Structure 1
Amino acid sequence: MFLAALAVIATGIAACGSGGGEDLSAWDHDPIVPGYSMADVNIGDPFQAVLDIHGEPEQKLKDGGYLYAYYARTREGGRIDDPASWRMVVTLYDNGNGYLDAEDEVGAIEVSTPYYGTTSGGVGIGSSPGDVEGEFGPCESISETQGPEGENIQLYYYDQKGVEFLISPPDGAITVLVTAYGGLRPVEEEEGTDDAQGGLFGVYSSAPIVPGQTAAGINVGDEFRTVKEKYGGPDSTGSTTEGLVFATYTGGYGTWKMNVYMEDMDKNDSLGDFDIVVSISVRHPYEGKTPMGVGIGSPSADAMKEFGSPERQTSLMHQGEELTIMEYNAKGIVFAFNSASGAIVEIDVNRPLTQ
């Protein structure tokens, strides 16, 4: 269920305008200048400068305190965080109003194949790890993850030099990211004023997590009308490629805090009162714990102490954050944790899968 949840996290807001249909012959040959610019976009530019050159993005997203503008889709049906799905993604710092507008500041520019501009040393899309280290020296940090089709991908971080490379061993660099020297500035996601009282979760903020059964006061097997009685109407709804329908709750600010997935009982791809809950996905500020005290923010090692080795473990990149997914499907629980810190950021309680 976690992969379905990621699809919901990353569902962008469709935007009007050219959507990347402009002539690409100019910007896709612009030099890559680590720490400064790429694709005719400069670090520190207002978003208006991006609009003047590239027009309106095809999709927009707010996630983790940053704003994202997506240009020139190259793969239909791909996840929004899949580098192979977009030619350019611009990351921006919010000016404080919670949505993307002309005054927001460019923090990073990301391009993927095909892109023809290179660094002063000739490094760009298609370059090998040896080419990259030949120009930039031994990498400050290299990590490995899996691409959308299970392929191994290496992440070469040169934060202090303002550039990063996503490298697929057979193909070389498939994505280049330019930031200011030192990388993206950390930002804190704006939180609602009622967060101290549990925010969205209210009286259910500490409701227990029982694998395969319940989280946040919602039970696997509940009808959606029961969810609405506790949480009201969702902020958004939709359906998944797995034939489920979902309700997304944000608590009125920022990104999602809870997703509830349901079996579409009348098979109309629309959420109805009698659809049946099969999965509950929760994030901060939910404070509920498993029987042995594992919750959001707990070390991943604590989950392994309680549940043992996962049945399946995978890694993926989501908006620049490497996540590791530990699946305990037979027990009805899945954990996602930040691969760098080891802290759990999402817990999914699912209907247990039987062999």
Structure 2
Amino acid sequence: MKKNLLTFILSLLIVGVYATPRVVDFRISSGSLLPGTLTLNANSSPTNFSATFTVQRGLAAGTAIPENVACVVDIVLTNQANTFKKSLSNTINFITDDVTSNYINRAISGSLSPSDVASGDQIQMRISYLDERGVKVTTLGGGFSYAISVPSTTPPPNPGGTNPTPGGGSVGTPPNWPIGSAGTVSTMAGIDITSSDLVYFWGVNGQVTVGNSTSTTGPTNTYVLPAGKQYTDVLDIAIAPTGLVYAWYKDGTISVGNSALNLGDYVAPKPFALPAGKTPADIVGISIAKNTSQVYTWYSDGTASTGNSTDLGAIRQPYAVNYPAGKSAGNLVDTGIAGSSGWVYAWYNDNTLSVGTSDSLAAYIAVKPVN
């Protein structure tokens, strides 16, 4: 009886030793996959990437992997359903017993072609190992994923370049308003582009004009704000793909209007959140992507973030932005994301314009004048 009991206890101990996982944290710590998006080449050629893959054990959270097992890590492409599509990189090998409280860093590199990418695809880390029973286990890197940006291969249109036709106050149709101007670029409370590529300019004078990317002249009307708000209180104005118009204010609130003429008749002012360390006074531009409804915000320190209307950093925390030569965040008046191309239009305080991406504002068109 005692012998059987001893055998049972020993078996439990043995199982415990082999089954005890150690918590290991995996992440990319540096390289071209950070700050979270790999932007592919605008042509069909593959885009190379490199990164440092960091492994650390002993954390309170992470990926639980058994003792003394050989792990293989690579970078893979997955689809929107989080299903593996293909491996993109070389492999990294390590044994969990080698991972102490200090970091293990390994270089990893690979490439990705635009032809491999479908809508919703992402880049992830893949870890494979044999468990204590000899069964292969594969996990996708601890929840860390990296987005893929595929630039358009066609030139962007000149937003708002078509002649206005009779319409109403809706941002989806060109309005039949008297021709005028809400002011110059530097006097705007907000600028944005609709899904149909109309460019709306809201001036601090209470006028709104439908122009085009290089002209602030066109059909003009007056617009109103929620009670208690002044035109000089506005930080920025942006148009959602639904046609609703969002206005952010210097006091840290946001309102929503049904049209370009009333910016508070749909949702009354309510608070919005910013990334840590940012204040409303840091904001120099906001626009809404028409294909995803994500809200892009640019800041005076030369960074940008991605989020939603009430949490400007909910999706992507601040990342660096490249400005055209001779320009800085201090020169930026506003931004707009075109509905047809997804390209970012940036207007500056010297009445000029450039076109690019959220993190490179002149990637497609260099600085040129605005009339």
TM-score by length of 1: 0.27
Structure number with greater Rg is 2
Normalized per residue, the structure richer in strand is 2
The structure with the largest helix share of the pair is: 1
TM-score, normalisation: structure 2: 0.26
Structure with bigger RCO (C-alpha 8 Å, 6+ apart):
1
